[in-house]
Amino acid sequence: MINSDDRKLVGQSVYEQLRSDIVTGKLSPGEKLKLNALRIRYSASVNTLRETLMRLVSDGFVLFVDQKGFSVKPVSTADLRELLELRQMLELSAVRKSMENKAGQMEWKSALISAHFRLNCIEKLMMEDEGSHVQAWEKADRDFHVTMVSHCGSQQLIRYHASVIELYMRYQVLALHRRPFRGQASVEEHQKLLKHLLDDETESVLTILDSHIQKGLFLPDAEKIPLKVKSKAIA
């Protein structure tokens, strides 16, 4: 149900599984990633795993220390705040560019409508049946925002934004296991965003987007964020 294509290379599929397990918290923040345990859990050889983990290190999901191996990147409120701020900087700038880029607006807007439709469907589901759609919602929400910036004309900006939003969404997913979905408010914001995007009302979009991103922020009461730090068995 998650993995459709069997022709996918081992490396690619392990990469996706590992990243997904980190984002959803199946691998806890801070947890040590021992190669032998992973070898069994993901049915891949040590070499393939190292290759994959190194990618995740560069992506910011995994830490690596010489001779001591890998561990899941810990979470912290400071890190979340930093990512939020970066996301705002990159996403606002990229959305502005997307809107100012007049060529190919029709295709872009059509993609926006399509992404928004999918997001809307899943948000409705989320309001009835919370937990079971978290992952689908994460993907749909990310897709919508990625589509918004996709027309900005800068591949590098798109790349860095994608990287930041992926790290950011990890916090969203982890948080959704401990607090309810924002629900109607979020749905309305997405609705408004789409409307103003289609109507070329740049400033409205940027204003709403700015606060939309801000409101997604979930700072746990104390410093509770290190959700689980004890290393649990992984094999």
Q: Which of the choices DNA, a second copy, none does residue 149 contact, using the CB cut-off of 5 to 8 A by kind? A: none
Q: Which of the choices a second copy, DNA, none does residue 159 contact, using the CB cut-off of 5 to 8 A by kind? A: a second copy
Could you tell me the CA-to-CA distances from 149 to 15, 40, 64, 184 in Å, in that order?
25, 39, 31, 24
**Nearest-approach distance from CB 162 to a second copy, in angstroms:** 12
32 versus 228: smaller Cβ distance to DNA: 32
What DSSP line would sit under 25-53, residue for residue? TSSPTT-EE-HHHHHHHTT--HHHHHHHH
Among 83, 148, 176, 208, binds a second copy (CB under 8 A): 83
How far is residue 95's CA from residue 180's CA, in Å, rounded to a whole number?
28
Q: Which of the choices a second copy, DNA, none does residue 43 contact, using the CB cut-off of 5 to 8 A by kind? A: DNA
Binding of residue 3 to a second copy (CB under 8 A): no
How far is residue 131's CA from residue 120's CA, in Å, rounded to a whole number?
16
Could you tell me the CA-to-CA distances from 181 to 120, 124, 166, 172, 175 in Å, in that order?
14, 11, 19, 10, 9
Per-residue x/- track, 21-60, DNA (CB under 7 A): -----------xxxxx------xxxxxx-xx---------
Of the candidates 94, 100, 86, 74, the residue with the CA atom closest to the CA atom of residue 171? 74
DSSP 68: T
Part in contact with a second copy (CB under 8 A); list of ranges 30-38, 84-92, 113-121, 124-132: 84-92
Part in contact with a second copy (CB under 8 A); list of ranges 18-26, 56-64, 186-194, 208-216: 56-64
54 versus 121: smaller Cβ distance to a second copy: 54
Q: Which of the choices a second copy, DNA, none does residue 68 contact, using the CB cut-off of 5 to 8 A by kind? A: DNA
Q: 142, 158 in Cβ contact below 8 A? A: no
Binding of residue 66 to DNA (CB under 7 A): yes
Question: Which parts of 16-55 interact with a second copy (CB under 8 A)?
Answer: 47, 50-52, 54-55
Q: 32, 71 in Cβ contact below 8 A? A: yes
